[in-house]
Structure 1
Amino acid sequence: MPKRINIKGAIVSSDIAWIYDLFEIEHTSPKTVLNQIEGANGDDLEVIINSGGGDVHAASEIYTDLKSYEGSVETRIVGLAASAASVIAMAGDKGKVKMTPTGEMMIHNSSTYYGGDHRDMSKASQMLQNTDRTIANAYRLKSGMEEKELLELMGEETWLTPQDALEKGLIDEIMFENEIKLSASSGIANLIPQEVIDGIRQGKLNKVPAGKNEQGIDKETVKNMFADFKKDILNELQSKNIEPNEPKPAATTQSKRKGFIF
């Protein structure tokens, strides 16, 4: 029996996955996927995808780990494979990328938030264009489409039905085509806003214990106090985040350049 790996919820980097655990928000990180891949010991993999995307570099790592796997890999889009999640879907072996007839795929340009003068903005623009081309590589290798056409589709934020994706070679099969009974789930990445993640890391949220603001807040402190302020944070999150958001990296707090697809 194939080993099942779920790609559900937000695609996030491994170093912030613990924050999603605290909020009990569904997510997928490279470390979690790699642990499951290593535990499969060469058995066939069945990768179940229902995600609105997230961190493009985390998705790239997951894609690479799946493509490097010694056993067979089948990817199944059971709801939504949008943005970074669509890149992961491309990791299925030849003939083994499938989509439920009620599913969707969305591809688009990378995006990020950046600060600085006009030179910094030019560098950021070039970085995003390069990121778009690397994303297009995953689609190109799967479908055989030309890079130019893929970049145009990404630039238009293209939503694909199963028939569209099959016609373009981005999937190999529409599931249940000869069956009457259909089943699928749907969902969009519920990414915690970057300001909340930064607040937890730097001790800028309400109810941080006295003396912690100057030096930031560590993981254990958050866990110990989490039961007291979790409800307040979730209420604040709901009021500020009516629609799901992607993380917005702050140039002043993150040294690593990150591109996000959303």
Structure 2
Amino acid sequence: MASWYAIRARGTGAEVAIYDEIGAYGVSAKGFLAELGALPEGTPVDLRLNSPGGSVFDAVAIHNALKRHEGTVTVWIDGIAASAASYVAMAGDEIVMPENAFLMIHDPAGLVMGTAEDMRAMAEALDKVKGSLVSGYAAKSGRTPEEVSALMAAETWFDASDAVAQGFADRLIEPVRIAANFDIGRFRNAPPVLVEQVEADQDSDDAADCVEIEADEDTDEAAEGDQLSDVENEQAAAADTAQPPAETPPPSGAPPDPAAIRADAIGHARAVIDLCLLAGQAQMAGRFLEENASLDEVRAALLAAKAEAEPEIVPHHPQPGRSSAARPWGEIVARTFKLKG
């Protein structure tokens, strides 16, 4: 199973890497905490972060576990420490950022479906979570809780120099290459320079993968050619000349833009999820996305599910549906609009 973290022994210390969304792939912080707790007492830890955040509750648990750890914890923000990941970073005895790295703090968010009481309970829970986060950020940065709260409400992004200047990091180092497997466009205030860096890196990775595949194919062909006789080499060369290159792009036009494809996929997924939420069928979104259903298909399936659903009967509320005194619509229409004939 894929995981969003890795813990490795290195010399006299340990390296902990969180390079994805905290709590992704169905892997909670429980395994992380177990592996961290298995380290010998006093082991120095290098925590490397490049994460968009994730589960705030997992992040709080990780933060607290790192604070309890007896050894020195040095946090290296290798690219991005956003949202819940930035709170994990605050557990470091020292926080080190390359000059082109970023840190972001914002208010916690949640999703709830239900009554007004359910929503008020969620709001109260989010307020309590924010209070805990504010305390952690304020303790590290030295800023007042009121200042931190305002920065969180605004979804504030700090580049490395700003983070050091405002107390959220301790030391700058030379810039590094920023790589991310996640969509940075999910955040409303992500700095354009960061979005461009991540997208450029992803595009260069795609190009590098293509070059690597082509190089491997060329190497394999050369190795086979060494084993052929001169006559066989001439035949192979002739065959290669006669056939067009396998990688020739289609004559219809330029290849599709990966960034545009990603944007379309993200927009479609958000539309599917919004439709499911509006229909009160949030649990159906995952199946629609797996089946790559169109929005028309999603609407039709949701309407069918709505039509089949039976009203929930609660004893202390009036039962839904037409009362016994109500007249059928057909009768009302017939009495109102009499046909001439």
Q: Shared topology, TM-score over 0.5?
A: yes
The alignment partner of 1:49 has SS state of strand
Instruction: Give the residue type in structure 2 aligned to 1:63.
Output: H
Which residue is 2:119 aligned to?
121
Measure the CA separation in 1 of the matches of 2:22 and 2:72: 23
Is 1:34–2:33 an aligned residue pair? yes
The alignment partner of 1:3 has SS state of strand
Instruction: Give the residue type in structure 2 aligned to 1:36.
Output: E
Asked if 2 retains the 8 angstrom alpha-carbon contact of 1:82 and 1:106, the reply is: yes
Instruction: Give the residue type in structure 1 aligned to 2:86.
Output: S
User: Taking structure 1 as reference, are residues 36 and 117 closer, same or farther at Cα in structure 2, changes over 3 Å only?
Assistant: closer
Which residue is 1:12 aligned to?
23
Measure the CA separation in 2 of the matches of 1:132 and 1:138: 10
Q: CA deviation at 1:90?
A: 0.5
Instruction: Give the residue type in structure 2 aligned to 1:135.
Output: L
Q: Rg larger in 1 or in 2?
A: 2
Is 1:109–2:120 an aligned residue pair? no
Instruction: Give the residue type in structure 2 aligned to 1:73.
Output: V
Provide the TM-score with structure 2 as the length reference: 0.50
Asked if 2 retains the 8 angstrom alpha-carbon contact of 1:5 and 1:36, the reply is: no
Provide the TM-score with structure 1 as the length reference: 0.63
Instruction: Give the residue type in structure 2 aligned to 1:169.
Output: G
User: Taking structure 1 as reference, are residues 189 and 129 closer, same or farther at Cα in structure 2, changes over 3 Å only?
Assistant: farther
Asked if 2 retains the 8 angstrom alpha-carbon contact of 1:100 and 1:184, the reply is: no
Which residue is 1:194 aligned to?
none
Q: CA deviation at 1:40?
A: 2.8
Asked if 2 retains the 8 angstrom alpha-carbon contact of 1:66 and 1:73, the reply is: yes
User: Taking structure 1 as reference, are residues 125 and 79 closer, same or farther at Cα in structure 2, changes over 3 Å only?
Assistant: same
Asked if 2 retains the 8 angstrom alpha-carbon contact of 1:77 and 1:100, the reply is: yes
CA RMSD of superposed structures (Å) = 3.0
Q: How many residues align?
A: 188
1:185 aligns with one of 161, 170, 178: 178
| Larger proportion of strand | 1
Measure the CA separation in 2 of the matches of 1:59 and 1:243: 29
Asked if 1 retains the 8 angstrom alpha-carbon contact of 2:24 and 2:54, the reply is: no
Instruction: Give the residue type in structure 1 aligned to 2:178.
Output: S
The alignment partner of 1:9 has SS state of coil
Write out aligned runs for 1:20-99 (5 A).
29-42=28-41, 43-93=43-93, 96-99=94-97
User: Taking structure 1 as reference, are residues 243 and 81 closer, same or farther at Cα in structure 2, changes over 3 Å only?
Assistant: farther
Q: CA deviation at 1:13?
A: 6.9
Which runs of 5 or more structure 2 residues have no equivalent in the other structure? 1-10, 184-261, 284-341
User: Taking structure 1 as reference, are residues 31 and 239 closer, same or farther at Cα in structure 2, changes over 3 Å only?
Assistant: farther
User: Taking structure 1 as reference, are residues 78 and 58 closer, same or farther at Cα in structure 2, changes over 3 Å only?
Assistant: same
Measure the CA separation in 2 of the matches of 1:64 and 1:111: 21
Instruction: Give the residue type in structure 1 aligned to 2:173.
Output: M
Instruction: Give the residue type in structure 2 aligned to 1:37.
Output: L
Which runs of 5 or more structure 1 residues have no equivalent in the other structure? 18-28, 177-181, 191-236, 255-262
Measure the CA separation in 2 of the matches of 1:8 and 1:144: 27
Question: Larger RCO: Structure 1 or Structure 2 (Cα < 8 Å, ≥ 6 residues apart)?
Answer: 1
Identity of aligned residues (%): 28
User: Taking structure 1 as reference, are residues 252 and 146 closer, same or farther at Cα in structure 2, changes over 3 Å only?
Assistant: farther
Which residue is 1:259 aligned to?
none
Instruction: Give the residue type in structure 2 aligned to 1:31.
Output: K
Asked if 2 retains the 8 angstrom alpha-carbon contact of 1:53 and 1:189, the reply is: no
Measure the CA separation in 2 of the matches of 1:123 and 1:169: 33
Measure the CA separation in 2 of the matches of 1:186 and 1:84: 19
Measure the CA separation in 1 of the matches of 2:268 and 2:66: 31
CA deviations 1:176-211 (Å, max 9, x no partner) are 3xxxxx323332646xxxxxxxxxxxxxxxxxxxxx
CA deviations 1:149-197 (Å, max 9, x no partner) are 1110010000101111111111111123xxxxx323332646xxxxxxx
CA deviations 1:204-246 (Å, max 9, x no partner) are xxxxxxxxxxxxxxxxxxxxxxxxxxxxxxxxx997535998x
